[in-house]
Structure 1
Amino acid sequence: MGIDAVLNTAKATATDALAGTRRVVVKVGSALLIDDGRPARDWLDGLASDIAHLRGEGREVIVVSSGSIALGRARLPGGGSMRLADKQAAASVGQSLLMQAWQAALEPHGLVVGQILLTRDDTERRRRWLNGRATLEALLGHGVVPVVNENDTVATEEICYGDNDRLAARTAQLARADLLVLLSDVDGLYTADPRRDFGARHLARVEALTPAIMAMGGDANAVAGVGTGGMATKLQAAAIARAAGCATIITSGEAPSPLRALKEGARATLITAPDTPMAAYKAWIAGSVQPAGELTLDDGAVRALRAGRSLLPAGVTAVAGAFGKGDSVRLLDAAGRRVGVGLVAYGAREAALIRGRRSDKIETLLGYPGPAALIHRDDLVLEA
């Protein structure tokens, strides 16, 4: 049963969601990963075993990991508060240590780690977004476990907030994951701070992020260490993921094998999503991106698109507009009627050079081997 079917079950739990996922992003914070300036090796080994088990079940796993600053800071002289430049220096020193820790944990399970460093621009600019997505897909296709971190050596905003929750949500959006797991120091969302209010209720399932729900991430959980920068950012991350069709689980990561604990019914909060990742992505293409150009198609190309195929250069008869790679373009039939809209894999100049030609001629025409499709079927939406 796919995760969309699981989440449509009225009583589905976080355990059910994990069991039904196809592609999951797991976010790990420094508090879990680092122990006295060093990797928490026993805990990492437990999580690595969990990841290997999920992979053995045929699920794809992406890790978003904090920890580079904490690891690097332990190697730098001095102490006390750190300026932004000092944090960036620590990240530079600690990033290789972080990847070594992940590789050491996953290698005994026969798993290879691939590093991805992202900034906000990489997840919000279409061209860089497409490049990032292509890299993630290639890594997953080779059976690699991608480990994503903020590119702290050049980023400024995220490093100031110390927040990788939103980065994890943007990674889930980028990867079109159907589940985001935020491992925390608490076992989910409560109606109030459970340390001060013994009547606070744990919320096992949230189906709408209303203002009242979002408010629970602030003062209600502050004393428990999950206020601003904690539960508040987790709910903000869940909102980003939800808009991309990705469900979110907030659960404690303090168990020796936190994902196994979740599979065995550990307490957690499941925040559902109203659509699948692909449906949300298609809705974004159709309604949120302003087309920058037009492609006119022959009748054969139109029939191929309606049969669920990608748009190949051979079916394009005309190119109009000054669009770049990753931009949105309108698709027109021979009579000028709108057929749909999609995100192009080539800019206007390249599209004009390869239009009407077979895909096996692309390298000869452009001087480099590019994608066979001008617009992949996943990146286009057809008119009804």
Structure 2
Amino acid sequence: MKGLMNFVNSLVVVLPSSKTLTLSWNFGSMLGMVLAFQILTGTFLAMYYSADSLLAFSSVQYIMYEVNFGWIFRIFHFNGASLFFVFLYLHIFKGLFFMSYRLKKVWMSGLTIYLLVMMEAFMGYVLVWAQMSFWASVVITSLLSVIPIWGPMIVTWIWSGFTVSGATLKFFFVLHFLVPWGLLVLMLVHLIFLHSTGSTSVLHCHGDYDKVCFAPEYWGKDVYNILVWLVFIVMSLISPFVLGDAEMFIEADPMMSPVHIVPEWYFLFAYAILRAIPNKILGVIALLMSIVIFYFFAFVNNYTSSLVKLNKLLVFSFIVSSVVLSWLGQCLVEDPFTLLSVIFSLLYFGLSSTLLFVFMFSKKLFE
């Protein structure tokens, strides 16, 4: 018990922290709070959910209409997913601005968390068993068929048959329930890596010459997260379905697909990249590389130069291209949207590659 208390004390009390951490560093603490919130609300929902293709959609309606306070738990849970991705993207963009990829283990563990969260959110989306989520699962899982030799076998294994069915739903439900606990452990590992190196700061450094204890200064700063929670609660109660799709109110029909299949907003940029390439294999590779490319940043050893203004320009441009791609992801597959998707997909990879090369070669400029 004493060892556990010492461990917690080292994480959130006596931890040496830079004096120059702004509110941008609240994004990480907010993500931890949202993960705990999602696990709490999700556990409650799992008590009343039926992972059966004949009952899944009805059980969601039962939670909304019959279970005491079930509606508020469900509203908070699916809006909580959007809240998580809002702060996840803010956290990643902040890391790009301050070149946090110099902290290699922290960066790579964070990207792994991001990939797992994307998988987790996708599986949760399918559990509603509505028209849009059902057909989105058909499209996304079938992409795995491009894997050489084993692809079709993997798809059949995930489907537990020859199409998305009730067995697939049970598979997703079990994983959706278990993965968050793994995420909790991985987030703790992410924190341990961070605390062993120290955070980057607005000074673009993580040395030991401007440190203060984490408590009470940064406890007070993290209290500002309460304001975000208040806004989240109010927005969830006033406009709970504003980020949803109308097709999510229709029970899944395997015999008739929606006219226009659109994923949730936090996947739209990747969906636009996938649709921009007519070839299925190349499209899936581009989809995967839209995230994997950021792993390569951790293989560069550069702790000396940062070229801050150029870096900020490139990151701002990258954010703009990502936002435009997200908008294009929900547009119809027709001109001029198809052409714009190709242009901004090239811009997305061009800017991320330029960020990497600037980071790689800026050290040589100063040698």
Q: Shared fold (TM-score greater than 0.5)?
A: no
- Range class of TM-score, shorter chain: under 0.3
Larger helix percent: 2
Q: Return the TM-score normalized by structure 2.
A: 0.23
Structure number with higher relative contact order (C-alpha < 8 Å, ≥ 6 residues apart):
2
Larger strand percent: 1
Q: Return the TM-score normalized by structure 1.
A: 0.23
